[in-house]
Structure 1
């Protein structure tokens, strides 16, 4: 149950962080305005809170693992929202990152 909760929290964190960065990009680079930027800042702030709900108490471990989720999530966001087509190297890299997440977060440890 803890692993499932952790995975859901990583997905929610990715939605907030990648979505927030995308909103800022749209507001600034695509000239959509300050409301888009403000929404992005709020989403990025929400991302920071989501990470605190991870069951593991180690900030460095959570953030390191989230880096792999961010890589894969960014490619998925690009595919869904911007119609980006990743090549095989993008996909292999994302799989490697997610394997790293699994090792960092879910490997058995003696405390």
Structure 2
């Protein structure tokens, strides 16, 4: 008897061992200035997570102990939130002007 099990992908999380990975996208301005984002666990708990100013694309923030169980002793993996920085494809005239001003001061 052979049994093949296929696991459907989760709409939010990917799995790496007992750790869960999710992606959150934030605007460029929030990546520069810092912000707070809401993160929900598999159990439905919601946390506000601080994203530090200057966060880089693909940076990971960690929620320790909210991943999958690792065994019968109650230990759990972590949730990692991978940050994606949104760069707008189109800018208004005013936005272009502001971005040019930022470029002039070295940003």
Instruction: Please classify the TM superposition score into its range, dividing by the shorter chain length.
Output: under 0.3
1 or 2, which has the higher strand percentage? 2
1 or 2, which has the higher helix percentage? 1
Which structure would you say has the larger Rg?
2
